[in-house]
């Protein structure tokens, strides 16, 4: 069941990573700088209403890079602010991203019980 959506996800996701790598190699930015920039760009694009159509087009190619994480933070805040008023800005941060954050903490804790770093 091949669809063009897989190719788009590959190209767009790959392009985001390639740009990040180029910035890493050609500037003095550390990986932390690049990741923070990527997540912030996602959050800002969501606020401008740009990330939603981008994600409709690129699917996982826009969702899986950390820019998708940033856009989800803004998206959750805006949705909750609409629903609850000003304190939705505070509760909304983890509306969508909470699942990923909790997943990362739970899975990592369990794995660290059984595995040690190789190096």
Partner 1 sequence: MRPQEYKQLVQQNTPPRPIVRNTVWAFLVGGLICTVGQVILDISRIFEPSKTGSAAVTLAVMILIGALLTGFGVYDEIAELAGAGAAVPITGFANTVTAAAMEYRREGYLQGMGSKMLIIAGPVIVYGILSGFIVALIKSLILGVL
Contact positions with partner 1 (CB under 8 A) in 40-59: 40, 42-44, 46-48, 59
Q: CB-wise, 20 or 54, nearer to partner 1?
A: 20
Decide if 16 contacts 67 (C-beta within 8 A): yes
Quote the least distance from Cβ 54 to partner 1, whole Å: 13
Q: Which of residues 9-38 bind partner 1 (CB under 8 A)?
A: 9-18, 20-22, 24-26, 31-32, 34-36, 38
Q: CB nearer to partner 1: give 54 or 72.
A: 72
Minimum CB separation of residue 104 from partner 1 in Å reads 5
- Quote the CA–CA distance of 59 and 96 in Å, as a whole number: 16
Q: For the CB of residue 51, give the shortest distance to partner 1 in the complex, in Å.
A: 11
Residue span 64-83 as binding mask against partner 1, x where in contact by CB under 8 A, dash where not = xxx-xxx-xxx--xx--xx-
Degrees, nearest 5: CA angle 70-75-78: 130
Nearest one of 79, 73, 82 to 44, comparing CA atoms: 73
CB 46 within 8 A of CB 74: yes
Count of residues interacting with partner 1 (CB under 8 A) = 74
70 vs 68: CA distance, rounded Å: 5
């Amino acid at each position: 069941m091949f669809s063009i959506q897989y190719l788009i996800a590959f190209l767009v996701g790959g392009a985001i990573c390639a740009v990040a790598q180029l910035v890493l190699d050609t500037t003095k930015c550390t990986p932390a700088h690049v990741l923070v920039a990527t997540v912030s760009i996602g959050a800002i694009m969501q606020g401008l209403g740009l990330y939603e159509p981008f994600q409709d087009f690129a699917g996982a190619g826009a969702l899986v890079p950390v820019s998708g994480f940033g856009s989800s933070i803004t998206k959750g805040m805006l949705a909750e602010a609409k629903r609850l008023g000003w304190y939705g800005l505070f509760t909304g941060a983890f509306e969508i991203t909470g699942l990923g954050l909790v997943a990362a903490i739970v899975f990592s804790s369990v794995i660290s019980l059984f595995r040690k770093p190789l190096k």
